[in-house]
């Protein structure tokens, strides 16, 4: 045990002192926090610039009702011809020229937008939305249908999902959390498992292992290397979680205050309130509608992140130890990284299958497929993390962890048999038949 600890210490300290580890530990949280906050920041500032469009309509008497301006786009109506508008177009004043034909109601495809260069997707989409709504309203009026009455009849159903105990949950949020946890397990197992394999190949090809084996048993060397790299991954993961939380929290508060200040300056709060009141009068929504941000925060608070974090650490370590033993065995059986390809596929197939199956399991976490894949040791690290966010019975969780530990012990024992023979074997092309003989070799 003392020798395993010495090897573990060497592997751990050698890797955490590398510049690449320090750089990725510091840069990783910044990138992850940016990935989390970028959508909110883009959404907050994407529509700041007001667009101005010159309208040429062949029916001046209905111009005012056809294209009402809004907060994002302003329509400026002109009574000149289309050719004159093109000749006198000022790109500093207008973003484009919109031509509406006389038969617009019967022929909506006749509308044309002229711009100096290619029209932006946002501009075209905004104009299409306004035109579609107005043409619909015109058609409704021609049939004697009241638009406000039709709007009041529309109903949005927000189905609440609750357990029998009355606890509310969100299937969408649980799906996101589960998939993210499963994806992280998948990435970490590959990332650090391959590091074990490369470390074994490097020591073997440099003949350093011949000196080490004279002092320790092959199994002790393999276990020290596997556990040492596991602690490196765990250290980096915990630092990432801590730093990402601090950066995202601070940046999130800053973005929230900036957006709030922007809304106050633009006076956008009052129109939103008046729209809510108007819709409430039509019966489309209630005045007591919950704020979407508060709703999401409440849903987050109902997810047991403590259990998810504990299970993540268990399945990360269990899955990593299981697969790393196999990666170490592969590294000991070959002389260079190119030769590992023939042995990597059978080892990685269960990981790939579990990641693909996660897309199906998340649709029905209680299915037979989800149950069996979440207790099979080679697939449980990913599939069980997907299911945990939805709630898993304690006995299933205990069975899955027990089988994962048992799978690690069995895999390590088998990998150790290959490792002790292959680690000192040079210059020979190893086959599956040869590996099978090493598993049952006595001596």
Rounded to whole angstroms, the Cα distance separating 412 from 223 reads 8
Give the domain ranges of the chain.
51-144, 169-253+294-439
The pTM (predicted TM-score) of the whole model is 0.63
Can you list the alpha helix ranges (DSSP code H) found in 165-217?
171-205, 208-213
Q: What is the CA radius of gyration of the chain?
A: 32
Asked if residues 389 and 303 have their Cβ atoms less than 8 Å apart, the reply is yes
User: pLDDT tens digits, residue range 150-189?
Assistant: 777 777 766 666 655 555 555 666 777 778 888 888 888 8
Q: What is the mean pLDDT of residues 353-361?
A: 88
The confidence band for 375, taking pLDDT boundaries of 50, 70 and 90, is: very high
> For residue 441, what are the CA distances in angstroms to 411, 421, 423?
16, 9, 15
User: pLDDT tens digits, residue range 293-343?
Assistant: 455 555 555 666 778 888 888 998 888 889 988 888 888 888 777 777 778
Per-residue DSSP letter, 18: S
The confidence band for 376, taking pLDDT boundaries of 50, 70 and 90, is: very high
Rounded to whole angstroms, the Cα distance separating 207 from 186 reads 32
Q: What is the pLDDT of residue 118?
A: 67
- Whether 46 has a pLDDT exceeding 70, the answer reads no
User: pLDDT tens digits, residue range 63-78?
Assistant: 444 566 766 778 887 7
Q: Which residues contact 418 (CB under 8 A, 6 or more apart)?
A: 329, 332, 333, 435, 438, 439
Asked if residues 224 and 6 have their Cβ atoms less than 8 Å apart, the reply is yes
User: pLDDT tens digits, residue range 218-265?
Assistant: 778 788 888 888 888 888 878 888 887 787 777 666 666 665 665 565
- Whether 401 has a pLDDT exceeding 90, the answer reads yes
Asked if residues 56 and 81 have their Cβ atoms less than 8 Å apart, the reply is yes
User: pLDDT tens digits, residue range 66-122?
Assistant: 566 766 778 887 778 888 888 888 877 888 888 887 777 777 777 888 887 766 677
Asked if residues 303 and 177 have their Cβ atoms less than 8 Å apart, the reply is yes
Position of tokens 């709630």?
Answer: 391
CATH architecture of the region 51-144: 3-Layer(aba) Sandwich (3.40)
Q: What is the pLDDT of residue 196?
A: 83
Asked if residues 134 and 111 have their Cβ atoms less than 8 Å apart, the reply is no
- Closest by alpha carbon to 317, among 418, 240, 226? 226
Rounded to whole angstroms, the Cα distance separating 234 from 435 reads 31
> For residue 345, what are the CA distances in angstroms to 341, 342, 350, 412?
7, 6, 9, 19
Q: Which residues contact 200 (CB under 8 A, 6 or more apart)?
A: 222, 225, 328, 331, 332, 419, 423
């Amino acid at each position: 045990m003392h020798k395993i600890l010495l090897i573990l210490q060497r592997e751990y300290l050698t890797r955490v002192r590398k510049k690449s580890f320090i750089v990725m530990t510091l840069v990783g949280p910044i990138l992850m926090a940016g990935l989390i906050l970028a959508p909110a920041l883009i959404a907050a500032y994407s529509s700041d610039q007001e667009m101005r469009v010159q309208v040429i309509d062949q029916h001046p008497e209905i111009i005012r009702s056809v294209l009402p301006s809004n907060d994002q786009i302003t329509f400026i109506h002109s009574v000149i011809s289309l050719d004159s508008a093109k000749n006198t177009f000022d790109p500093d004043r207008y973003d484009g020229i919109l031509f509406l034909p006389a038969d617009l109601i019967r022929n909506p495809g006749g509308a044309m937008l002229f711009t100096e260069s290619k029209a932006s997707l946002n501009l075209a989409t905004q104009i299409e939305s306004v035109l579609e709504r107005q043409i619909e309203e015109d058609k409704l009026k021609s049939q004697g249908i009241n638009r406000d009455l039709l709007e009041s009849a529309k109903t949005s159903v927000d189905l609440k999902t609750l357990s029998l105990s009355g606890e509310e949950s969100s299937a969408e949020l649980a799906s996101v959390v589960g998939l993210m946890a499963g994806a992280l397990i998948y990435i970490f197992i590959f990332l650090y498992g391959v590091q074990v394999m490369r470390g074994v190949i490097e020591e073997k090809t440099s003949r350093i292992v011949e000196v080490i084996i004279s002092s320790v048993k092959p199994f002790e060397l393999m276990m020290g290397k596997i556990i040492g790299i596991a602690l490196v991954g765990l250290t980096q993961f915990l630092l990432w979680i801590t730093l990402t939380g601090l950066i995202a929290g601070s940046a999130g508060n800053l973005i929230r205050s900036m957006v709030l200040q922007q809304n106050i300056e633009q006076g956008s709060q009052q129109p939103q309130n008046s729209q809510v009141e108007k819709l409430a009068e039509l019966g489309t929504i209630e005045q007591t509608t919950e704020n979407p941000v508060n709703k999401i925060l409440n849903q987050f608070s109902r997810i047991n992140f403590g259990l998810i974090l504990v299970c993540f650490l268990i399945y990360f370590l269990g899955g990593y130890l299981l697969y790393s033993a196999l990666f170490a065995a592969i590294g000991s059986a070959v002389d260079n990284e190119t030769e590992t390809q023939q042995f990597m596929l059978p080892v990685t197939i269960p990981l790939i299958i579990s990641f693909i199956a996660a897309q199906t399991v998340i649709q029905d976490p209680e299915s037979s497929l989800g149950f069996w894949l979440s207790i099979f040791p080679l697939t449980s690290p990913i599939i069980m993390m997907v299911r945990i966010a939805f709630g898993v019975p304690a006995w299933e969780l205990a069975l899955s962890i027990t089988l994962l530990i048992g799978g690690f012990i069995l895999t390590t024992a088998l990998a150790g048999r290959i490792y002790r023979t292959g680690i000192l074997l040079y210059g020979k092309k190893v086959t599956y038949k040869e590996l099978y003989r090493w598993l049952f070799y006595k001596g």
